[in-house]
Structure 1
Amino acid sequence: MHKTITGFTVKSADKGEVEAVFSTFNVIDKDGDVTLPGAIKDGAEVVVSAYGHQSHYGALPVGKGVIRTTETEAKAELKFFLNTTAGRETFEVVKELGPLGEWSYSLHDVISKAGEINGQRVNFLESIFVKEVSPVLIGAGVNTRTLVAKGLKFSEEGDAVVAAVKAYLGRAQEVMVLRSEKGRSLSDESIEFLKELDQSLTQLRALFDTKADEAAEVTPEDIKALEAIAADVRRRDLFSNLTQIGA
C-alpha cells in the first residue's frame, strides 16, 4: 500500500540532501484514511526507493534517511547515493521537477480502526511502519504543497512563493463557493490562517514601501526578513485547513 504527497526541500545539492514531507496528520486523504499523530515513529530510518517504488521489484535503492515528525506532519531527511548512477540521476530528476514531483511511501504493519468525521466514514491509522519513501510522478495524496528548494536565486524563490499563494487563493475561492452553496462558512481555524497569511503579505508590502521611501539598498537583514516571510507563507500545508472543511 502506498500514499503520495508533494512537498520537498533540497537542503544541499552538493551532498544530494532532500527534505520531503510524506504524510500529514489528522487529515482525510483520498483513500478515506486519517493518519494520527504518533502513528509514524520519529527518528526511524527509511530507505529511498528507486523512482516509482521500483525497489520493490528489484531496483537498487537510491538513498536513505531519517523520519522526523511534528504534531502535524512527517518528513524524511534524505541523502541520495550520489556515488551511484541511479542515485545521482534520481536526485537530479527530483531537484529539477521541484513542485511538479511528488513523494510516496509504503505502509506496513498497519494498526487502524474505523471511525467517523463530520458524518464521513474514515479509517484512523494508529500505527504504521514506514519502510521506504519514493519519488513518483503522479499520486492521489491530499494536502499538496510546495516547499521552495534552498539555494535558489532570490527571484526564483519569489516566483515559487507567488505561484503557491495564487494556487492557495484559487483553492480558497473554490471552497468558499462550495461552502456558500451549502449555507456554511469557513471554519474559525481557516479564517485565522487567512488572516495570518494576509498579515505576512502586509509586512512584505511595508518592507518594500519603507525601502522605497528611504531609497536605500536591501541589506542582509532585509533578506532575512523576506526569507522569514516566505517561510511563513509556505510553512503550513497550504491546503490542510481547507481540505477538512468540505471541498
Structure 2
Amino acid sequence: MMQIKSMTIKSMDEAGKGLAELATLSAVDNDGDTYDRGAFSWKPGGHQWAMMMPAHDRRKMPFGKARVYEEGDKAFAELNLNLKTSAGRDWHQALLFDLETGDPVQEWSYGYNIVDMDYRVSGNSRVRVLKRLDVDEVSPVLRGAGVGTRTLSIKGAKLRDEHLAGLITDLGAVASAVDADPAAVSATGLKQLREIRDAITRVLAGDDGSGDPAKAASTVATDTALTHFMQHQESLRRFGR
C-alpha cells in the first residue's frame, strides 16, 4: 500500500531543475519513523527514479521526474520538470507565482511503498525503522502530510520587503548565537554566512539604481545566498536543531 510523507523543495531554476529534501536519515520524523542508511539508495546505481504527479493523482499526466538519492545523513530528490509539456510549464509558472505573491503556501509530499522495515524501542517509544523504500512519485499538494513542506525557493523569485523582515530577524538571531558560542556554527553554516556577506557586499558597493546588468546579476547572487540562509534556518526549525 502506498504511503505518503512530506518533503521540502529547496531550489529550482529557470530550466525546471531543482532539489528537494526528503528526510534526515538519523532523525525520527513527524510520523515517528526513522531510516536505515540505504533506505532510499538500495537500488542498483545508488538511486531511484519517481514520477512527478499533481496531488498524487495517477490519472493525470506526469509533469516531470525526480531522481532520489542519499548524501551523508540526508535523502534528496533531484527534480526535473518537463518544460516541453504544458503541464510542466504550468507547474513551473505556478510555483514561481506562489513564491512571488504573498507568503508561499504550496506544500509537497512523496509517495512510497515499504520494501523492508523493522521496529526499535527508544525510551518509552516504539520507533518504526524504514530500511528500504520504493519512492514512486513526488507531488505538489494542497496540504502536505506534515509540517514544513512549503516551497523554499525557485530561481527567479524576488525577495520582497515582507520577506526581508523575517530574514533580518533570523540573521540577528544567528549573530547573537555566534557571539555566545562561535563553535556552534557548523562548517556548512560558516560557508553560507560567507556567501551572504560577500553577496551583500557586492550589491551595496554597486547598487545606485542605474539598471546596470552587472548590478542586476549581483542582486540575483544576493537572492541566492539569502535563500541558502533561509533554507538552513528552515532545516533548524524543522528538525529541532
TM-score, length-normalised on structure 1?
0.64
**Structure 1 231/38 Cα, relative in aligned 2: closer, same or farther at 3 Å?**
farther
Distance 1:169 1:144 in 2: 22
Q: Aligned residues: percent identity?
A: 21
> Is the aligned partner of 1:226 residue 2:228?
no
Distance 2:221 2:94 in 1: 31
Q: Contact conserved, 1:146 with 1:164, CA < 8 A, in 2?
A: no
Aligned residues: 219
**Structure 1 116/169 Cα, relative in aligned 2: closer, same or farther at 3 Å?**
farther
Q: Contact conserved, 2:34 with 2:129, CA < 8 A, in 1?
A: yes
Distance 1:109 1:115 in 2: 16
Distance 1:103 1:160 in 2: 23
Distance 2:75 2:148 in 1: 10
Structure 1: stretches of 5+ with no match in the other structure: 177-185
Q: Contact conserved, 2:193 with 2:229, CA < 8 A, in 1?
A: no
Distance 1:209 1:225 in 2: 12
Partner of 1:29: 29
**Structure 1 12/244 Cα, relative in aligned 2: closer, same or farther at 3 Å?**
closer
Q: After superposition, where does 1:230-245 map in structure 2 within 5 Å?
A: 230=226, 232-234=228-230, 236-245=231-240
Distance 1:159 1:233 in 2: 17
TM-superposed deviation, 1:31: 0.7
Partner of 2:57: 54
Partner of 2:167: 165
> Which of these residues, 1, 4, 7, is aligned with residue 2 of structure 1?
4
Q: Contact conserved, 1:6 with 1:146, CA < 8 A, in 2?
A: yes
> 2:4 is matched by which residue type in structure 1?
H
**Structure 1 18/97 Cα, relative in aligned 2: closer, same or farther at 3 Å?**
farther
Distance 2:28 2:8 in 1: 16
> Is the aligned partner of 1:106 residue 2:111?
yes
Q: Contact conserved, 1:111 with 1:125, CA < 8 A, in 2?
A: yes
Distance 2:206 2:124 in 1: 52
Partner of 2:98: 97
Distance 1:168 1:144 in 2: 19
**Structure 1 147/243 Cα, relative in aligned 2: closer, same or farther at 3 Å?**
closer
CA RMSD across the alignment: 4.2
Deviations 1:59-101 (A, max 9, x none): 23322313143222312322236535x5554444344324421
Q: After superposition, where does 1:119-134 map in structure 2 within 5 Å?
A: 121-134=126-139
SS of 1:109's partner is strand
Q: Contact conserved, 2:196 with 2:222, CA < 8 A, in 1?
A: no
TM-score, length-normalised on structure 2?
0.66
TM-superposed deviation, 1:35: 3.6
> 2:127 is matched by which residue type in structure 1?
V
Deviations 1:22-45 (A, max 9, x none): 502233322111244431135422
Greater CA drift, 3-12 or 161-170 = 161-170
TM-superposed deviation, 1:208: 5.2
TM-superposed deviation, 1:117: 5.9
Q: Contact conserved, 1:103 with 1:135, CA < 8 A, in 2?
A: yes
> 1:23 is matched by which residue type in structure 2?
L
TM-superposed deviation, 1:107: 1.2
